[in-house]
Structure 1
Amino acid sequence: MDYHTIRPHPDLSSIVKCYWTLEVPYQNDAQRQLIVPDGCIEMIFILGDDVKRFTSGDEYIIQPRDMVLGQITEPFYVLPSGDVKSFAVRFYPYGFSNFVSISIGDLVNKETPLVSLFGNEVATALADKIRSAADTLERIELVDAFLLERLITKPTVDGIVKRTIDAIFSTKGKVSINTIVNDDSSKRRQLERKFLKEVGVSPKQLGKMIRLQSALKMLLNNHTGSLTEIAYESDYYNQAHFIKDFREFTGTTPKAFLGDEGMILSSVFYKQD
């Protein structure tokens, strides 16, 4: 498995977290891979063979080859049908809202074809150029030009949304949303509405995702402590609270996650993020 991340263009660095590439040779015994929520939205170009995404049991859809993957709030399983080769843009939670007029909440837990967001002519032209590009560097230049052309003005994410997200990331999901809004219930409801439109999930959900990321990184980077210690360091009430949140987003337990080959892809993403 060959996974790389690349820093974004300086003029996009406030809204794009990174570009990434993934290549995996075909495997006869390939297993479904769990994608763990990370609070980000991604624009993905599938350059290799088709990828299945399971919707229920053995039922699946074939992912669009050029798509935006919205916020994920539930277990999300994929399986390549052959060679994997992907190029993608990973946006910060508030980043993609700068390029579309629709509510980001409409993109949650699904793949939206680029043609549905940017129109057939524009999306098809971009996809064709990405596929015919000589290498990753050329693909990055193409995406940079595409995004910068649509970013007519400086990003204007709502101030309270940006401050809340910054607080969530800087505290690794531990900040209290009530503290941010000074225990004002009307301000909290207003903040939640803005989050659903610009981010796709509530502040509380994003906080849970980021806190889970912190705990996952401890698990994956040879943390020698017990689950109880990891839960404590990640500010969960106790081990049971940690396991409950872990299961909500992954459908499994921390111990099972570490020993499951179906978690390899998420493990690689989280170790290098």
Structure 2
Amino acid sequence: MKIKFYKPKNGILKKYIKGYYFILHDENAEPLKYWTFPNNYCIISVSLNTDVLLEANKITVIPTDQTNVSADLVWRYVSPVEIFYEKPVTEITIYFKPLGLNHFIKDFGDILRQNNIVQFNAFPDFKQEMEKILNYKERKYQIQELEKYWLSKLLHKNFNLMRNVLQDVESDYKIAEIALKHNISRQYLNKIFMKNLGKSPSEYRKIQRFRNSVATKKHFKNLTELSYENMFYDQSHFIKSFKNLTTLNPNAFFKQVNTNKNNIWLFV
């Protein structure tokens, strides 16, 4: 089954949303399974007439005869997660950039203090409007109404400090140097990361460098060049970090994942 990834058409939403994809219900299709690896996105999936089971390293989506709207939010995992559909269902999945979803939900920090959530329902009209969008027959209307809905929820928040700190964490500054640069303690730096992103600076950095290495693999001849370009200390550090996040060494991983694809956010 081919899945098309859409980037937001609206210029404002592009600041906060990486993109989204749709799945269509197909009673005659084979089960669908893929693996996804750690990332720094907040991911909302909404499906019609399903039961969704969220386990430690697996998300199972089961079609049901019961009419309902299921929604889940995932923002933190540090090992591969298996996504399994007994049958393809009617679904939309939205990828919010780091700090992106914070701009739509008033008390997002309260949500991040919980575990990944089944039955996510941030707004009184959320499930009702998502159901309408998923029931549109034409994709262009689905996209139009989806973007209109999220624009209606946009809040004006000041994340200047977090954005500056985030930029430094994505560089080669040491964590202690970042805290010193912004005149805050390491404990406070960790606190604002947990509050706004649901993970520590070091965890965020580790995942970001892994993702960058996957995205840039095709530009480098060997793992040594790739590891240094993505700010790993050396190749052994790169391999260790890679295995921690994927359970595979880089060579084995890249044999299974085609990094020449446009959308390598989805690893089958």
**TM-score range with shorter-chain normalisation?**
0.7 to 0.9
Residue number among 55, 72, 80 corresponding to 1:75 in the alignment: 80
Shift of 1:193: 0.8
Query: Matches of 2:165 and 2:25 in 1, distance apart?
Result: 37
CA 4–23 in structure 1, closer or farther in 2 if over 3 Å, else same: farther
Give the structure with the higher percent helix.
1
Shift of 1:39: 0.6
Residue number among 106, 112, 127 corresponding to 1:105 in the alignment: 112
Query: Matches of 1:259 and 1:50 in 2, distance apart?
Result: 34
* CA deviation vs aligned residue, 1:2-58 (integer Å, no higher than 9, x gap): 322223522333222323345798446x5x4221122111222336987766536xx
Query: Matches of 2:72 and 2:158 in 1, distance apart?
Result: 24
CA 201–135 in structure 1, closer or farther in 2 if over 3 Å, else same: farther
Under a length normalisation based on structure 2, what TM-score does the superposition of the two structures give? 0.78
Q: Percent identity?
A: 19
Under a length normalisation based on structure 1, what TM-score does the superposition of the two structures give? 0.76
1:156 alignment partner in structure 2: 158
Q: Is the 8 A contact 1:54 1:76 kept in 2?
A: no
RMSD (Å) for aligned C-alpha atoms = 3.4
* CA deviation vs aligned residue, 1:248-271 (integer Å, no higher than 9, x gap): 2222222222334xx679x76427
Query: Matches of 2:168 and 2:181 in 1, distance apart?
Result: 16
* CA deviation vs aligned residue, 1:190-240 (integer Å, no higher than 9, x gap): 121111111111122111111111111233x3x552222321222212222
Instruction: Show structure 2 runs of 5+ residues with no match.
Output: 63-68
Q: Is the 8 A contact 1:66 1:113 kept in 2?
A: yes
Does residue 94 of the first structure (1) align with residue 99 of the second (2)? yes
Partner amino acid, structure 2, of 1:97:
N
What SS does the aligned partner of 2:99 have? coil
Instruction: Show structure 1 runs of 5+ residues with no match.
Output: none
1:212 alignment partner in structure 2: 210
1:139 alignment partner in structure 2: 142
Q: Is the 8 A contact 1:15 1:92 kept in 2?
A: yes
Query: Matches of 2:164 and 2:52 in 1, distance apart?
Result: 36
Shift of 1:125: 0.7
Shift of 1:146: 2.5
Query: Matches of 1:195 and 1:90 in 2, distance apart?
Result: 19
* CA deviation vs aligned residue, 1:115-145 (integer Å, no higher than 9, x gap): 3x334xx233122212211333322332323
Query: Matches of 1:47 and 1:258 in 2, distance apart?
Result: 35
Partner amino acid, structure 2, of 1:81:
E
Partner amino acid, structure 1, of 2:142:
R
What SS does the aligned partner of 2:56 have? strand
Q: Is the 8 A contact 1:39 1:209 kept in 2?
A: yes
Q: Is the 8 A contact 2:21 2:93 kept in 1?
A: yes
Number of residue equivalences: 254
Query: Matches of 2:6 and 2:61 in 1, distance apart?
Result: 25
CA 23–213 in structure 1, closer or farther in 2 if over 3 Å, else same: farther
Partner amino acid, structure 1, of 2:253:
F
What SS does the aligned partner of 1:46 have? strand
Q: Is the 8 A contact 1:8 1:18 kept in 2?
A: no
Does residue 187 of the first structure (1) align with residue 185 of the second (2)? yes
Shift of 1:76: 1.3
2:175 alignment partner in structure 1: 177
2:237 alignment partner in structure 1: 241
Partner amino acid, structure 2, of 1:209:
I
* CA deviation vs aligned residue, 1:60-103 (integer Å, no higher than 9, x gap): 65488422222332321112212366423221111112233142
Query: Matches of 1:62 and 1:83 in 2, distance apart?
Result: 9
Q: Is the 8 A contact 1:243 1:253 kept in 2?
A: yes
1:20 alignment partner in structure 2: 21
Q: Is the 8 A contact 2:210 2:242 kept in 1?
A: yes
Query: Matches of 1:124 and 1:23 in 2, distance apart?
Result: 18
Residue number among 238, 242, 264 corresponding to 1:270 in the alignment: 264
